[in-house]
Each structure stands twice: as C-alpha cells, then as structure tokens.
Amino acid sequence: MLTIPRHIKSSVEIPSITLDGLTFVQYQSRKSMVRHEACVAQHSLVFILSGTKIIHSVDGDVELGAGDSFFIRKGCHLMSELVPEEGGTFDTILFFLNDSMFTEFVDSLSSNSDDSLVDIPSLFRVETSEPIQIYLSSLIPLFGSPLAHDGEFLRLKVRELLHYLCDADGNENFVNFLLFCRSENKTDLVATVEQYFNKNISLEDMASLSGRSLSTFKREFSKIFGTSPAKWIRARRLSWAAQLIQNSSKNISEISYEAGYDSLSHFSSIFRKQFGHTPREYRSGLKSSKLEL
C-alpha cells in the first residue's frame, strides 16, 4: 500500500516541491495504472488536466476526467486507477497541506456554518473557475524556479488557491466541509491505531493521521497501552493473523498481506517466534485438533 504524499516525495521520477510542510506535485503518465491501494496522510487537492482517474472508496466509485478537481481529507484509505487520454497522457497537479497550513487557513474562514452538509464524504468534488485555471497555468513554471525555495511565497500561493475555491460558484458547501475536516484534525488515538495497525504505513504517518507529532503520539500511546507503538502493532498484527488463520479459508500469503506484511518469509519468521509454529504449522495443528474432537 502506498502512503501519500510520502511515496510521491520519495520518487525521483515525479516533479515535486516540498517546503515548510507543503507539497506541490506535477504528475504525468502515458501508461494506465491498475488499481493501487493508498492511504492519504495529508489533506490534498487534486486537479486533473487530462486523462481519467477512477477512485474506489468507502463512499463508492467516482470517475473524474479532464477539468475535474477534488479535495481528499486526511486519513482516507482508497483504491485508484489512472487512464491516459487516447494517444496522450494522464496529467494532474496535486497539493498536499500539512496540519499547520490547513488549520491556519480554515481558522481564518467565517465560522457561520449552516450545517447543510450532513453526510461528510472522503472525497469532495470542487468546481473550478477561470481564475483557478489561470492560477494552475501559472503554477507549472514554478517547478525548477528559484521561487520553489521560497516558503512564504508558496504559502501565499496555497492560500490564494483555497480562497479561489471557496469563492467559486458551486462550492457553497466547501467551507462547511473544510470546517468539518478542521474539527477532526486530532482524532482518537486508539481509534486511529485500530484502523491502521494492519496497514503498511510508517509510525510517522500514523502519528500524522491521528493529528499528532511523532513525539506526542509515542508519549500518549505509551500512557494508554503501557508499551511502545512498535511492540503493540507487532503483537496486534500477529493476533489478527492468528484469527484469520483460525476463522478464514484465506491462504497464508493473503493473510500475511492483510496483517500488514509484504514479505511472507518475514511474516512466517515473526509468527513462529510469537506462537512457536509457522503459520502453516499453526493451521495444520488447528485442523488436527478438530479431527481429534
């Protein structure tokens, strides 16, 4: 599973600007991409310039094309597919906002929400306007420009974009959506780790998803669970894997992946240390016990 934007920032093939916790990305591909699983660790804005993006989330399937744009709130777990234009490319611009930048902007908005947004989606489609199209065109030359290293300038550019979106016709509920995202910035730590313990994401990303710094996350975690996050997550994953071995017909490779391990050999090794048997031996022992009964 990919953790966004960490995966993007670590790729030398994807042009990006990262400064002061903000990330701008220009992504282009001539190849279709089959479904890939992703965890979105920061609030993000996506503008599709060409091609098609299909997103599968808990809210259902959404197909988006050239000219479409959307906001994905932090913490979403989704699958997506990319389809280039026929004979062309899939081209998009993405913005990732850290908690500080996002909170600063939302706190500056009018808080007279009318609560008309009842169902809060993972993905919020936003309408664009002529100023936004001009803005996007002016952004591309920034890649490789000295201004890409000016933190204050980049923060102003993000605020400019967010104001354009909030003022655009058809985005009347966008402010309400942002206010909701702001209110859930710091989530329940226990709920966060239970949601992501079997996802292959870093501890830093898990802390970000909970709305905490890594040091605060570790400190609060130890107070609640009485152990370190790494030890608890390992034990929780192995316990989950044992439950799947006992109660499902899935093969060991599938169980390894669902428990958060990409390497089957590593999974088998630590499972044996925990239970005294490899996953296959463990399952065989359960079958033998049932036959004896």
**Chain segment 112-142, per-residue pLDDT in tens:** 555 555 567 788 999 988 888 898 888 888 8
pLDDT per residue over 81-101, tens digit each? Answer: 888 888 888 999 999 988 888
pLDDT per residue over 37-56, tens digit each? Answer: 788 888 999 999 999 999 88
- Which of 41-50, 206-215, 240-249 is predicted least confidently? 206-215
Hey, what are 46's tokens? 């996506």
User: How large is the average pLDDT for residues 1-6?
Assistant: 78
For the cut 50, the answer to whether the pLDDT of residue 291 exceeds it is no
Domain ranges, ordered by start, for the chain:
2-183, 189-226, 230-292
| pLDDT, the chain, mean | 84
For the cut 50, the answer to whether the pLDDT of residue 293 exceeds it is no
Give 61-116 as a DSSP string. EEEEETT-EEEE-TT-EEEEEEEPPTTS-EEEEEEEE-HHHHHHHHHTS-------
User: How large is the average pLDDT for residues 274-288?
Assistant: 84
pLDDT band (50, 70, 90) for residue 185: low
Paired strand residues for 126: 69
The CATH homologous superfamily of the domain defined by 230-292 = Homeodomain-like (1.10.10.60)
Query: How far, in Å, CA of 93 to CA of 133, rounded?
Result: 12
- Which of 67-76, 251-260, 280-289 is predicted least confidently? 280-289
- Judged by DSSP in three states, 276 sits in coil
Residue labelled with tokens 């313990």: 197
Query: Which pLDDT value is given to residue 114?
Result: 53
Enter the pTM of the model.
Answer: 0.73
Instruction: Domain 2-183: state its class.
Output: mainly beta
Alpha helices in the chain (DSSP H): 6-9, 99-107, 130-139, 151-167, 174-183, 189-196, 203-209, 214-225, 229-247, 252-258, 264-275, 279-292
Percent of the chain with pLDDT over 70: 92
Q: How many CB atoms lie within 10 A of CB 46?
A: 21
Contacts of 29 (CB under 8 A, 6+ apart): 51, 82, 84, 89, 90
Amino acid found at 11:
S
Candidate ranges 57-61, 65-69, 144-148; pick with highest mean pLDDT: 65-69
Report in angstroms the alpha-carbon separations of 286 from 11, 33, 266: 44, 40, 22
Query: Which pLDDT value is given to residue 29?
Result: 85
Contact between 131 and 92 (Cβ < 8 Å): no
Indicate the angle between helix axes 151-167 and 99-107, nearest 10 degrees. 50
Closest CA to 49 of 90, 5, 96, 16: 90
Query: How far, in Å, CA of 33 to CA of 193, rounded?
Result: 30
pLDDT band (50, 70, 90) for residue 251: very high
Q: How many CB atoms lie within 10 A of CB 39?
A: 23
For the cut 60, the answer to whether the pLDDT of residue 232 exceeds it is yes
Bigger pLDDT: 111 vs 52: 52
